[in-house]
Amino acid sequence: MIEFSARQIPNAITLLRIALVFPTTWLLWETRYVEGLILMSVAGASDALDGWLARYFNWGSRFGAAMDPVADKLLVAGMFIVFTVQGHIEIWLTAIVLGRDVIILTGAATYRLLFERIEFAPTFISKANTAMQIVTVLLLLLALCEFPHVSGLAGALVNPYCFYLLAVLGVSSGLDYVLTWGQRAWRHGRRAP
């Protein structure tokens, strides 16, 4: 029998956020943007809550450290794909956003396979990139909701300013990871007999 303790609450919240990915992206696909915004807001609040619980009560876990960014990436990737198919985001930007994550995951898996376990420690530029991804899809979603006054301002900010800033952050953070972990792999390989 599986026993549940309070320490597992942040992990349960993270799993809930992963479960929200499909209904959120489905609502966006159906152009039900207001409902999608509500679910995205629930996901965002749950992200803040599970992080706070893990830090405040020292309920952090290796599972949570690994799955929390995965939950964020799944939601953001789903939104980027839907918005690209709908023509709201250019394919080149989505290629940068998703390509960066594929390169990082492939590199991490290769490093783990060849050398050692990787501790999850995002850099400042990586955190800035993730924050910009969320800001971009949130502003785009606000623009698509057609709220008086707010949607026009959100639309003016998201394209082109957020798109170009996100492209720069995506490429920069991707290169940062490739160079940092490439150097570590090279040094590790030189030490090996």
137 vs 89: CA distance, rounded Å: 9
Does residue 51 share a domain with residue 132?
no
Q: Of 38, 71, 104, which marks where a domain is finished?
A: 71
pLDDT one digit per residue (tens) for the chain, 193 residues: 566 688 899 999 999 999 999 999 999 999 999 999 999 999 989 988 988 998 889 998 888 888 888 898 999 999 999 999 999 999 999 999 999 999 988 988 888 888 887 776 788 999 899 899 999 999 999 999 999 999 999 999 999 999 999 999 999 999 998 998 888 878 877 665 5
- pLDDT for res 114: 84
Amino acid occupying residue 181: W
pLDDT for 187 equals 82
- 97 occurs within a structural domain: yes
In terms of DSSP H, where are the helices of the chain? Answer: 9-19, 21-29, 33-56, 62-85, 91-114, 124-145, 150-157, 163-191
Q: Are 50 and 13 in contact (CB under 8 A)?
A: yes
User: What pLDDT is recorded for position 166?
Assistant: 97
Assess if residue 174 is contained within a domain.
yes
Same domain? For 5 and 93 the reply is no
Domain that holds residue 145: 88-193
Write out the two tokens for 4.
């549940």
Residues 144 and 60 in one domain: no
Instruction: Summarize pLDDT for 101-156 with one digit per residue, the tens.
Output: 999 889 888 888 888 877 767 889 998 998 999 999 999 999 999 999 999 999 99
Single residue among 25, 40, 71 that ends a domain in this structure: 71
Number of structural domains found in the chain = 2
Global pTM reads: 0.89
- Residue 77: inside a domain: no
**Rounded Cα–Cα distance for residues 193 and 186 (Å):** 13
Domain termination residue (choose one: 14, 46, 71): 71
Give the model's pLDDT for residue 188.
75
> What is the per-residue pLDDT for 62?
84
For residues 65 and 10, the answer to whether their CB atoms sit within 8 Å is no
Q: What's the pLDDT score for residue 122?
A: 80
Residue 38 located in a structural domain = yes
- Amino acid 193: pLDDT: 57
